Amino acid sequence: MAPMGKVAVFVIIALAGCGPPDNSPASGSGGDEVRGWIFASGKRPSRAEYAAIVASCQQGAVQSARGKPLDVCLADLGLRRE
């Protein structure tokens, strides 16, 4: 195969692997709810940070908040409402 043919094949394969990014919120994480929360520092958590914190609360990883509402667990982890 000629050098230009190899380049063309590489470009086609590279472009085929480039799809639109998956920006959908994590399942069950309440992706839209992240807008109402901020860290104590005043910074908003990213969707990934918020999803990880919510997952840890839902799985019982935070002992002080077991059996309590999600808001209490998030507050124990340093988040507060805007």
pLDDT at 50: 92
pLDDT at 29: 45
Whether the model pTM is above 0.75: no
pLDDT in tens, 22-75: 554 444 445 457 888 999 899 999 999 999 999 988 888 878 778 888 888 888
**3-state SS string for 6-48:** HHHHHHHHHHHHCCCCCCCCCCCCCHHHHHHEEECCCCCCCHH
pLDDT at 27: 47
